[in-house]
Amino acid sequence: MKQLVYVITLASTVLLTSCSIYTRHHYETNPLSGVQKMASPTTGKEVVLVPMRHLSTAGSYAKLRDYIDILKADGYVTFCEGVMRMPYHMDTVREISMAELYRFCDTVTFTDAELQRLDTIIRKDRRVMGSYIGKGGYADPDNQSLPERNKKQKYVSQTLELLGLTTDKDIWIDYSIYDMMGLYEKRYGEVELSEYDFATGLMERYEPMDDKPSTNGKLRLVLYPRNEYVVRRIIGSQRPRIAVIYGSGHMPGIKYYLKKHGFRQTRGYKADKQLK
């Protein structure tokens, strides 16, 4: 029996602290304050870094969407974050738009064996990360594995739809959950699961008593390899204007690698001015 499984949760396995989901007052009032523009003096390629917080106010996301829409109207494509849960390796060499990915997900099916493998990968991810991010996002009141502080604040979770990142101008630039875990285990060894991991429901409180999640493990899984991957795709792309829509915790690393490739920050660039 085959079962349709359609799960695209933006940054579904992203480290909560490294990607800065916890909203700060400054970000709420001015979510564009951290936007930076970089350019290559040799190729003329422009890259705008738009940092995200995965929990914020609806007003913040509305302002971000207005800005992103202006960028797209000005010839930019967006390179979007999103660790996809696919039944097999997705070809990430060519550009895949979010619109195309949605169409793909409307037809993809999982065999029983693929569902079992996916379940194991998700549990390995939870073992490293310490929580599970499902369809309900970072503030799902029914998800007991999430910190309670996520649910006490009156914020909404960042989604592709909320930011209008569902068009042919929005390109998926990220790993599948399989690729991400494969890279991690190849470098650091297999993630061992215990009876507790299999017996505990994904939406239940998760408190393993043996090998507890560590900050280093989270950084190695969701931050470092993805930063390098984003920059590789930027350098290899023929697009002259790119807006990177990623968690704020990724931006220092992405900026660092861009500088190594000769990109320079555009001084005095203010995203707020683009809305006027």
Asked if pLDDT for residue 9 goes beyond 80, the answer is: no
- Return the structure tokens found at 261: 């490739």
Q: Which range, of 151-155, 174-178, 220-224, averages the lowest pLDDT? A: 151-155
SS3 assignment, position 191: coil
User: What pLDDT sits at residue 273?
Assistant: 79
- The residue among 220, 246, 91 whose CA lies nearest residue 163 is 246
- 218 contacts 128 by C-beta, under 8 angstroms: yes
Find tokens 């002259």 and name the residue.
240
Model confidence over 163-211: pLDDT tens digits?
Answer: 999 999 999 999 888 888 998 998 889 999 999 999 999 999 998 877 6
Asked if pLDDT for residue 226 goes beyond 80, the answer is: yes
- Return the structure tokens found at 263: 């990109």
> Dihedral of the CA atoms 161, 10, 40, 31 (nearest 10)?
70
Asked if pLDDT for residue 250 goes beyond 50, the answer is: yes
- Give me the chain's average pLDDT, please: 83
- 271 contacts 60 by C-beta, under 8 angstroms: no
Domain positions in the chain are 3-275
User: What pLDDT sits at residue 13?
Assistant: 32
Model confidence over 256-275: pLDDT tens digits?
Answer: 999 999 999 999 998 987 77
Average pLDDT on 88-95 reads: 64
Average pLDDT on 13-38 reads: 65
DSSP string, 17-43: TTTT-S--HHHHH-TTTT-EEEE-TTT
What is the C-alpha separation between 127 and 109, in angstroms, rounded?
Answer: 26
